Amino acid sequence: MNKISALQKARAAYAPKLPAALANGAAVTINEGGATTAVADVEKVQALFKTTFGSPVLTFAPGKGEKSAARNVGVILSGGQAPGGHNVIAGLYDGLKSLNADNRLYGFLKGPDGLVKGEMVELDDAIIDAHRNTGGFDMIGSGRTKLETEEQFEAARANCEKAAISALVIIGGDDSNTNACVLAEYFKANNIPIQVIGCPKTIDGDLKNEWIEASFGFDTACRVYSELIGNIGRDANSAKKYWHFIKLMGRSASHIALECALQVQPNITIISEEVAAKKQTLGEIVDYMASVVAARAANKMNFGIALIPEGLVEFIPEIKVLIAELNDLLAANADAVEKMDKNEKVAFAAGKLSAESAKVFASLPAGIQMQLCNDRDPHGNVQVSLIETEKMLAEMVGTKLKAMKAEGNYSGKFSTQTHFFGYEGRCAAPSNYDADYCYSLGFNAAALIGAGCTGYMSSVRNTIKPASEWIAGGIPITMMLNMERRHGADKPVIRKALVELDGAPYKHFVANREAWAIETSYVYPGPIQYFGPSEVCDLVTKTLTLEKGGNI
Ligand code: FBP
């Protein structure tokens, strides 16, 4: 057996909390809401999801602990790692065993690929117990393969049938839960008796809506980044000589940057959604950042912290248009582009873009041009984690400050350090919030399977309250769908939840950002606490607290 840390050993004994509805096991009493619709493009979504569209929202109440016939279930981890994935599987396992001790759980290996290739392992007490309350996805691995072809669906069916699996749980983000929905529809429409249930995972925090109030992993990841940013803030305030430009993961949405800003109170935080709404140009963003640097320098503070969301470039209007053109161009010429090296790709793109986009493309540093031409992920997304926006902005702000100095508008010193925080937080041991939430999501997925549901996402709500008041149930995934352009074609996808500019978290940030810019008001959250008083161990994100009307 691998050597484990003292913390992991002690943490293995933590018993995650469950909503009251699941206290007697996963055989629950079901309350059905009315028929549902899609968030947009209703007719198109309905036409694509003929058998699963319109299912009701379900809420659960405690059942009487009835047993059901034994069955086999498969589970898949899909997409990027997020703290708490192992607890979803542990909750699912315990929930299934509560329905019938002979129920069996199989883990498909390396994500959706394992389902298509039939690579799986049976999960038993020893495997599950070794992974309770741990970070990572290493129990069964993950992957980003998109399930979309009939060939893949048929392979999935055949592999499930081989192991007599009659239900699948797909743990993933918006794209993976879209896959779950498409697969559920395929099975149901073809009378294949395999249920499909989704669970909301992603550190990005962008898979949320009225019923799914948080994606798991967001809480833990933000706490890890906030600890690091706080530590850097303390270093900056001690040495007083560096501006730290910190890019934070989160793909398109700025939820992580905003949550970290609320936790640490840095001098600058760029919110991509605001940039898009105000149609800010790259030049305007640089001007704003330089103005804060200059204002602090005037107060003899030649140091600071700037947070930059990973997906920023996609939200700057002129770069967004450029990326959309590049996406279509690269998709339409995929075979030819695959054979090109980085420089050839840049030259090819520059020659085919519209005049306006070609101008924008030419204005970007060569490194960024290459990064924008990198391969898309299997879902057609630009891999924003590979674009070094923090370095680009540090360089551009430096150039702007030189010009301001020459004009006599700035007299400080500007030395930078750049950082990118993402992978540091994705596999951290889950906080109490994520440990409890994930275990509940998994246990609740077993309840949805027991209730015979398909095409549903496991939903656990009211999580700012003690777990005994959490509301468990299921949401039809079709409710969250709309049509979007991917790989040059319109596809049904779960609508991403971006930062809402009329939402309480953003408003709180805006009300304070000027003071945070000029003063040095850093808060140092410190590391996640797993043992100790509830007020340091059982925290809820500031984002969720404010969204639910609380104070921070
Ligand atoms: P998911 O949407 O799959 O949860 O991905 C989260 C994420 O960490 C993003 O924040 C980031 O852009 C991306 O994964 C990085 O992908 P990779 O792990 O392939 O480098």
Using one digit for the tens of pLDDT, what is the confidence trace for 313-338? 989 999 989 988 998 888 888 889 88
Q: Residue with the nearest Cα to atom 10 of ligand 1?
A: 250
Ligand 1 atom showing the smallest separation from residue 250 Cα: 10
Range 488-493 average pLDDT: 88
Ligand 1 atom showing the smallest separation from residue 79 Cα: 3
Residues contacting 369, CB < 8 A, separation 6+: 346, 349, 350, 361
Instruction: Return the closest-CA partner of residue 428 out of 108, 98, 55, 137.
Output: 137
How far does residue 251's CA lie from ligand 1's centre (Å)?
A: 7
Ligand 1 atom showing the smallest separation from residue 383 Cα: 12
Higher pLDDT, 515 or 326: 515
User: How much is the pLDDT for 17?
Assistant: 96
Q: Give the mutation target among 203, 375, 384, 421 for probing the ligand 1 site: most ligand atoms within 8 A of CB.
A: 203
Range 532-539 average pLDDT: 96
Q: Residue with the nearest Cα to atom 19 of ligand 1?
A: 80
Ligand 1 atom showing the smallest separation from residue 426 Cα: 8
Kindly report, residue by residue over 401-458, the tens digit of the pLDDT.
999 999 999 999 999 999 999 999 999 999 999 999 999 999 999 999 999 999 999 9
Ligand 1 atom showing the smallest separation from residue 201 Cα: 4
**Can you tell me the distance from the alpha carbon of 306 to that of 173, in angstroms, rounded to the nearest whole number?**
28
Range 201-227 average pLDDT: 96
Q: Average the pLDDT over each of 213-222, 284-293, 322-331, 510-519 and give the range with the smallest value.
A: 322-331
How far does residue 249's CA lie from ligand 1's centre (Å)?
A: 8
**Can you tell me the distance from the alpha carbon of 361 to that of 381, in angstroms, rounded to the nearest whole number?**
18
Q: Residue with the nearest Cα to atom 15 of ligand 1?
A: 385
**Can you tell me the distance from the alpha carbon of 314 to that of 16, in angstroms, rounded to the nearest whole number?**
38
User: How much is the pLDDT for 489?
Assistant: 85
- Per-residue pLDDT at 541 exceeds 60: yes
Q: End-to-end CA distance of the chain: give it in Å, rounded.
A: 44
Long-range contacts, stretch 50-54, CB < 8 angstroms, 24+ apart: 50/185, 50/189, 51/185, 51/188, 51/189, 52/181, 52/184, 52/185, 52/188, 52/454, 52/455, 52/476, 52/477, 52/478, 53/476, 53/478, 54/476, 54/478
How far does residue 81's CA lie from ligand 1's centre (Å)?
A: 7
CB 446 within 8 A of CB 88: no
Q: Give the mutation target among 385, 421, 438 for probing the ligand 1 site: most ligand atoms within 8 A of CB.
A: 385
- Per-residue pLDDT at 364 exceeds 90: no
How far does residue 21's CA lie from ligand 1's centre (Å)?
A: 33
**Can you tell me the distance from the alpha carbon of 232 to that of 523, in angstroms, rounded to the nearest whole number?**
11
Exactly one of 94, 175, 204, 206 is catalytic; name it: 204
Per-residue DSSP letters for 54-96? TPPPEEEE----------EEEEEEESS--TTHHHHHHHHHHHH
Does the CA dihedral 189-192-195-198 come out positive or negative?
A: negative
What is the percentage of the chain residues whose pLDDT exceeds 70? 99
Higher pLDDT, 485 or 302: 302
Average pLDDT, the chain: 95
Ligand 1 atom showing the smallest separation from residue 251 Cα: 12
Q: Residue with the nearest Cα to atom 4 of ligand 1?
A: 202
User: How much is the pLDDT for 379?
Assistant: 65
How far does residue 80's CA lie from ligand 1's centre (Å)?
A: 5
Q: What is the DSSP letter of 501?
A: T
Which protein residues touch ligand 1 with a CB less than 6 Å away?
A: 79-80, 82, 173, 202-204, 249-251, 310, 384-385, 422, 426
Residues contacting 305, CB < 8 A, separation 6+: 229, 232, 233, 236, 243, 244, 246, 264, 266, 267, 268, 522
Residue whose token pair is 């340091």: 536
Q: Which residues of 302-326 are buried (b: 16+ CB within 10 A; e: fewer)?
A: bbbbbbbbbbbbbbbebbeebbebb
How far does residue 22's CA lie from ligand 1's centre (Å)?
A: 31
Report how many helices (DSSP H) and strands (DSSP E) the chain contains, helices first: 23, 16
Instruction: Return the closest-CA partner of residue 244 out of 414, 368, 403.
Output: 414
How far does residue 172's CA lie from ligand 1's centre (Å)?
A: 11
Residue whose token pair is 């990198």: 374
Q: Residue with the nearest Cα to atom 1 of ligand 1?
A: 80
Helix (H) or strand (E) holding 313: helix 312-315
Q: Residue with the nearest Cα to atom 7 of ligand 1?
A: 80
Range 272-287 average pLDDT: 95
Q: Is 434 a catalytic residue?
A: no
**Can you tell me the distance from the alpha carbon of 350 to that of 356, in angstroms, rounded to the nearest whole number?**
11
Amino acid at 100: N
Q: How confident is the model at residue 218 (pLDDT cuts 50, 70, 90)?
A: very high
Residue whose token pair is 């991403």: 496
Q: Give the mutation target among 204, 248, 255 for probing the ligand 1 site: most ligand atoms within 8 A of CB.
A: 204
- Per-residue pLDDT at 1 exceeds 60: no
